[in-house]
Structure 1
Amino acid sequence: MLIVPENLIAELVTPEMALTAVEAVFAAMARGEARNFPVVREALGHEDALYGFKGGFDRSGAHLGLKAGGFWPHNLERRGLINHQSTVFLFDPDTGTPTAMVGGNLLTALRTAAASSVSIKYLARPDARVLGMVGAGHQATFQLRAALQQRRFEKVIGWNYHPEMLPNIAKVAEEAGVPFEAVPLEGMRVADVIITITSAFAPSLMADHVGPGTHLACMGTDTVGKQEVEAELVAGATVFTDEVAQSVSIGEAQHAVSAGLLSAAGITPIGAVINGAHPGRTREDEITVFDGTGVGLQDLAVAAAIVDLAVARGIAIKVDF
């Protein structure tokens, strides 16, 4: 079995690699060649932590495995560790034998950013110039870096529940040579693309905060009860997702569905757009939503690419398991 520890991930994976892997997975899912297994996600009753498993099998990529991990909200303040902790395990789909264990913390951040980046690539207007960020935590910096590669954005605007965190994303924008401005939520109406990346359980972004033709990448809701966006806003948009089953159960769409404003049949897998089976955006004034719930196949695809590169560079650790 091969091990690629967390401290090697940064030198192996790039946003471009993550985007390529995630895009291929979404396409395979839409073709029926890859499927995710049901998510297990539970509150531990210890350290206020959430812990779970995401897994799946991609026949086209020969990826089988799972990611184990979750969210420990006190890590940063108490231990100097990031709050999200995870590890990816890969198995040989022909034999079931374990093949690799890969550090999953940076991997998760990059694959999550890659998912929203894929949605911007296929659904945002080509002339999008203003990027809005709702959220300014650790993951928001990865989201912003990836998004800035997809359009010629001329300005980044941001809002956060805790305004003192906005310098996190302001620094990323400025490093990319793009001006940043903090705005109230009403100021998001000028954005052509909005990424929501918070851990909220109540909506902050409302329908009157969003202008015509905007693309929304809703990336923070991945658990029952979480919500970043008003249900009416989701229901009034053209909705795409990584996986419909997760979208209606643990994603942003769960609230519109439970209110009877949207059905599973009204949600399109983003892979259908990648494959050309769905046109994606059809009007300039159309509001599109990508409900990024986070699927295990994303983790497996990026982990497999990391392992291949680690082997090629001779830095993968081999153990007799």
Structure 2
Amino acid sequence: MLVLGRSQVEALLDWDTLIDALTSALADLSANRASAPGRVAALVPEHDGFLAAMPGYVPSAGALMSKLVSLFPRNAGTPLPTHQAVIVVFDPATGEPTALLDGTAITAARTGACSALSARLLAREDAAVLAVLGTGVQARSHARAMCRVRPIRQIRVAGRNPAKAAALADELSSVLDAEVRAVSTYAEALDGADIAAATTHSLEPVVRRPWLTPGVHITSVGYNPAGREVDDATIAEALVCVESRRAALAPFPAGSNDLVMPIRDGVITADHVHAELGELIVGSKPGRTSPNQITLYKSVGVAVQDAAAAALVVTTAHEQSIGEQITLR
């Protein structure tokens, strides 16, 4: 069995290749070629956390795996990530376990890469101003990934902690070819933004319709067990897309409060979810229809994303002879 730690996984993942791999995996999912059962989770209510199991099979990637992921939002602001995971990869022909991977790095990268894929499909071609809402792992991932698919020239970072926003802006300035600056409020970050990446655990919406510029593309990936990231007015007006309708509209903790709550309150119906990304990829559903249309990708994460990323990591590790080999007895 191949064993790869976090730094090895991070070094092996290439953004452009990952975005392309996710394109095929999500097309498989929407065409019912991939298998991704609903996430099951053991809740830890005293810490607002859970431990989830996410098995998946993606035939286009030859990938069979299962991820165990813990999500503890109270880790925000501590040395520990809110998402921590391991992935076990299996041979799809025999079922033999073949690799054990750090899943924390894969979760961070595949989430940002899939948001970038949504921007490739839905954001205006000339989108140049990116608002990053949040200062954690996903904020970093999204800033890096978005620059791969659109000509981003300015990035504005906003978070609850101004010092962390300033530190992240300095960090991103050193690795990205864009002007990056911290701003004081979410509203300031969103004013005039072409793309907004919401990556928070906020109880109250950090994306509000009065703060948005016509034509903005929004990505929302935050886990908000007692709240939501996007307000009703934005949800109601936007062209809404997801990875999987079944996953996004599932009851807590699998689904999204950003969609489930407005449906519960009668603001929208389930039919308001316009398309899965896989349907946009193959052209069975249209994407943006006008420059001023607001588009929204709401992510809850699905196992085919992890499977596609894990397959890339394992293939590249074998090509480069990276990782430790152990024998299971």
TM-score by length of 2: 0.89
Change (3 A) 1:74 1:192: closer
Deviation at 1:55, TM superposition (A): 1.8
Deviation at 1:226, TM superposition (A): 4.2
Change (3 A) 1:47 1:240: closer
Q: How far apart in 2 are the matches of 1:6 and 1:298?
A: 18
The answer (yes or no) to whether the contact 2:140–2:172 under 8 Å persists in 1 is no
2:232 aligned partner: 231
2:305 equivalent among 298, 301, 307: 298
TM-score by length of 1: 0.91
Deviation at 1:173, TM superposition (A): 4.0
**After alignment, is 136-145 or 200-209 more displaced?**
200-209
Q: How far apart in 2 are the matches of 1:292 and 1:77?
A: 22
Flag structure 2 segments of 5+ consecutive residues without an equivalent.
none
Deviation at 1:116, TM superposition (A): 0.6
**After alignment, is 90-99 or 104-113 more displaced?**
90-99
The answer (yes or no) to whether the contact 2:165–2:182 under 8 Å persists in 1 is no
1:242 aligned partner: 243
Deviation at 1:224, TM superposition (A): 4.9
User: Per-residue displacement from partner, 1:88-119 (whole Å, max 9, x unpaired)?
Assistant: 11223333222221111111111111011001
1:279 aligned partner: 286
Change (3 A) 1:76 1:237: closer
The answer (yes or no) to whether the contact 2:70–2:83 under 8 Å persists in 1 is yes
Q: How far apart in 2 are the matches of 1:247 and 1:314?
A: 38
2:121 aligned partner: 122
Q: Within 5 A, what are the aligned runs for 1:152-301?
A: 152-175=151-174, 176-179=176-179, 180-187=181-188, 188-221=190-223, 224-249=225-250, 250-251=255-256, 252-267=258-273, 268-301=275-308
1:66 aligned partner: 66
SS at match of 1:118: helix
The answer (yes or no) to whether the contact 1:66–1:89 under 8 Å persists in 2 is yes
SS at match of 1:67: strand
User: Per-residue displacement from partner, 1:154-193 (whole Å, max 9, x unpaired)?
Assistant: 2112321222211243124422232224143333131111
Q: How far apart in 2 are the matches of 1:153 and 1:77?
A: 28
Q: How far apart in 1 are the matches of 2:316 and 2:191?
A: 42
Change (3 A) 1:157 1:11: closer
SS at match of 1:113: helix
Tell me which amino acid in the other structure corresponds to 2:304.
Answer: L
Q: Within 5 A, what are the aligned runs for 1:111-150?
A: 111-150=110-149
User: In percent, how many aligned pairs have the same letter?
Assistant: 26
User: Per-residue displacement from partner, 1:31-73 (whole Å, max 9, x unpaired)?
Assistant: 2211311112233357664211112222333322211021345
Tell me which amino acid in the other structure corresponds to 1:313.
Answer: Q
1:110 aligned partner: 109
SS at match of 2:99: strand
SS at match of 2:53: strand
**After alignment, is 66-75 or 237-246 more displaced?**
66-75
Query: How many residues get paired?
Result: 319
Tell me which amino acid in the other structure corresponds to 2:238.
Answer: A
Cα RMSD of the aligned pairs, angstroms, is 2.2
